[in-house]
Amino acid sequence: MALSKKSAQAVNTYNRRQVLGLLAGGVACACCGAVHANKLAYDLAATEIASGTWAVHGRTEYFTLENGGNIVNIAFIEVPDGVVVIDTGPSRRYGEALLALIEKTIPGKPVLRVYNTHHHPDHFLGNQVFENSVIAAPQKVIDNIIAEGDGFTDNMYRLVGDWMRGTRTTAPGTALEAEFEEIGGRRFSLYYLSGHTSADLVIRDDETGVVFSGDLAFFNRAPTTPHADIGVWQESLTTIASLDKELILPGHGLHDKAGDSLLQTGDYLDWLRQAMTDAASRGLTMNEAMSLPIPPRFKSLDVVETEYQRSVVHLYLAFEDELMPLIEMK
Amino acid sequence: MRQGKLSSSLRNGCVVLLLSVSSMVSAYELPADPLNSVMWENMAKRFFPGEIVIDQRVIVRAPHDAEDQMQVPITVDATQLENVVEIVALADLNPIPHILTLHPVRAQPFVGFRVKLEQSTPIRVGVRTSDGVWHVNGVNVGAAGGGCTAPALAHGNNDWYKTLGQTRAITRRESLDLARLSLRMRHPMDTGLAAGIPVFYMSKVEVKSADGIALANLELFEPISENPTLTIKPLVSDGITELLVYARDTEGNEFEFPLVVPATVDN
């Protein structure tokens, strides 16, 4: 009797746990995208965009507590002796999910090279899960990561919260300066451009002709400008357009065969420059400049309202300095 | 006994007196704060003495989230109100909440400025009309930490004082009798809260017509961003074609310059 009583109790406990588990699952489901869901997990998927080349497309959104910063395009490439990775995502947790996805897609091959295209947080904060010496970027990108990385990391904790747990700024261990390098039996051409930031690395896989533009190109998602120099950025777009290539993977948005991402990014930057010029030369306040109408052709770009408002804050001061005449004192 | 009686009646007198004082203070009921700030009662008492109404006609434009907490743009437009005497802008949760006061003597009740934010805070604006009523409205702005306690960028440069007060400005005539004046003056606007840097800020900007008629008087305070960038809209009827700007900082440095108002309307 005593025995059966005990086992009955055990069964009951088991059931209660099951029920609790179901409840927890139900709760997480019910408020889909619940900010404080029990377990935060990036649901990463790889799309083969060219032979042996996978893109992990991020959402075309701004950082939120819900998306955990998964708004960026990451890529990995199978080369004869291993794997090459382009950018590492917004957090340590993302980096771990990325590594797992690579291992699932290309089992048993080592990561031989990780490129960081530039120092924005969604592109490099997954670095710490990779061996430091294989992570490479131009010296200026490394300098920018060292100078601004901790500030970015703090801000990311504020913007996306617990997804960032355990994330530390990790600068690349290898500085790039060559025009190309052979990695695991594949040649990659390296282009040292700028304009989106003070240092933007563009990588071409010379075998497949895929160009990884970093954030010099956006596609159907409004460009971001916190460190932008619009004139220099336009020159870089011209350089990318002139490259021999089969496909572009922009930093944000779908991959693009025809080069439309370059045209769209250039068109948007032209408009931005014109809008800032007009507003600053009329002495508009930043808030007034922020409420200028966005042309219909850009209305379909994801998060264009948010990004335009942010851009006004990033760019307006410089336009004012240029367009407001100096006054002579009495 | 007698003494006791006296003191007790004194006490009663005091009570009566206190009651009447407190009833004077609370003659106007404090409206509920649409921004739900813990500082509302304090801000209202300190900065908006008298009757307060929450008024949507006071338009406060600010970004929902501060992209750069050292330069958060704010534009106040109270042009739907008449007889505006004074505009007071506050950041409730800044260590120094008072941002600026504008007396639009002969100007539209409109002002654009940029502010340093120490943390997420309500931006609150009180507009006092000539009947003494404060029309209050505002918005919440999200921000990361540290705007007020970080040193000005100027201090990265050893000879920043050489360009102190250097001014850029645009003056336009928006209609026959209305000008728009946007100006930026180089000044570190030190709050006194960054380690080792004493308080030092542009505290006064006055705009007059060439013949000395006051148009707009601004008092600036510590939270105004480095290199204050201000936009005001002076009334320029009566053939005003030139404005005089006078500015002074907390160390007594004075800056004075004329600005031409173009004859033609450009909008």
Q: What is the ipTM of this complex?
A: 0.87
pLDDT of residue B146: 66
Which of chain A's residues have a Cβ under 8 Å away from the Cβ of B255?
329
Q: Compare all CA atoms of chain B with the CA of A159 and give the residue at the minimum distance.
A: B144
pLDDT of residue B156: 76
Does residue A11 fall inside a structural domain? no
pLDDT of residue A38: 55
Rounded distance between C-alpha atoms, residue B71 and residue A154, angstroms: 19
Rounded distance between C-alpha atoms, residue A117 and residue A221, angstroms: 18
State the average pLDDT over residues A46-62.
Answer: 96
Q: Compare all CA atoms of chain B with the CA of A157 and give the residue at the minimum distance.
A: B144
pLDDT of residue B198: 93
In angstroms, the separation between the Cα of residue A71 and the nearest Cα of chain B is 18
Of the ranges A16-20, A171-175, B27-31, the best mean pLDDT one: A171-175
The contacts of residue A292 (CB under 8 Å, 6+ apart) are A275, A279
Q: How many CA atoms lie within 13 A of A134 on its CB side?
A: 19
Which residue among B71, B168, B258 places its CB closest to the CB of A324? B168
Question: Which range is least confidently modeled, A1-10, A119-128, A223-232, B89-98?
Answer: A1-10
Q: Compare all CA atoms of chain A with the CA of B119 and give the residue at the minimum distance.
A: A158
pLDDT greater than 50 at residue B12: no
Q: Average pLDDT of chain A?
A: 90
pLDDT greater than 70 at residue B11: no
pLDDT digits (tens, 9 = 90+) for A250-260: 999 999 999 99
pLDDT of residue B27: 72
Report residue A67 as tokens.
């998306």
In angstroms, the separation between the Cα of residue B96 and the nearest Cα of chain A is 23
Does residue A168 fall inside a structural domain? yes
Contact B257 A320 (CB under 8 A): no
> Best interface-test mutation with A: which of B75, B77, B245 has the largest number of A CBs within 10 A?
B75
Where do the H-state alpha helices sit in chain B? 2-25, 40-47
Share of chain A above pLDDT 90, in %: 85
Rounded distance between C-alpha atoms, residue A307 and residue A299, angstroms: 12
> Best interface-test mutation with B: which of A285, A306, A321 has the largest number of B CBs within 10 A?
A285
Does residue A33 fall inside a structural domain? no
pLDDT greater than 70 at residue A100: yes
pLDDT of residue A270: 98
Does residue A186 fall inside a structural domain? yes
pLDDT greater than 50 at residue B196: yes
Does residue A17 fall inside a structural domain? no
The CA distances from residue A118 to A144, A242, A289, A298, in Å, are 8, 21, 29, 25
Which of chain B's residues have a Cβ under 8 Å away from the Cβ of A286?
73, 75, 112, 114
With vertex at residue A234, the alpha carbon angle to CA A233 and CA A239, rounded to the nearest 5 degrees, is 95
The residue that leads in pLDDT, A263 or A24, is A263
Which residue among B68, B73, B144 places its CB closest to the CB of A285? B73
Does residue A147 fall inside a structural domain? yes
pLDDT digits (tens, 9 = 90+) for A189-246: 999 999 999 999 999 999 999 999 999 999 999 999 999 999 999 999 999 999 999 9
Region for A257 from its dihedrals, namely left if φ exceeds 0, alpha if ψ lies in -120 to 50, beta otherwise: alpha
Cα A142 vs. chain centroid, distance in angstroms?
A: 17
Q: Average pLDDT of chain B?
A: 89
Question: Which range is least confidently modeled, B154-163, B171-180, B223-232, B258-267?
Answer: B154-163
The residue range of the domain holding A312 is 47-323
In angstroms, the separation between the Cα of residue B150 and the nearest Cα of chain A is 13
pLDDT greater than 70 at residue B2: no
Does residue A251 fall inside a structural domain? yes
> Best interface-test mutation with A: which of B59, B60, B67 has the largest number of A CBs within 10 A?
B67
Residue B170, chain A, CB below 8 Å: the answer is yes
Q: Compare all CA atoms of chain A with the CA of B173 and give the residue at the minimum distance.
A: A282
* Phi, psi (rounded to 5 degrees) for A196: -70, -45
In angstroms, the separation between the Cα of residue B27 and the nearest Cα of chain A is 37
The span from the first CA to the last CA of chain A, in angstroms, equals 104
CB B216 within 8 A of CB B106: yes
CATH number of the domain bearing residue A166: 3.60.15.10
Which of chain B's residues have a Cβ under 8 Å away from the Cβ of A326?
166-168
Question: Which range is least confidently modeled, A48-52, A152-156, A296-300, B172-176?
Answer: A152-156
Contact B112 A310 (CB under 8 A): no
Q: In chain A, how many domains are there?
A: 1
Size of interface A-B (CB pairs under 8 A): 87
Does residue A31 fall inside a structural domain? no
Which residue among B165, B168, B182 places its CB closest to the CB of A321? B168
Report residue B117 as tokens.
């934010």
At B147, the pLDDT band (50, 70, 90 cuts) reads low
The contacts of residue B110 (CB under 8 Å, 6+ apart) are B75, B76, B77, B78, B79, B104, B231, B232, B233
The residue that leads in pLDDT, A124 or B65, is A124
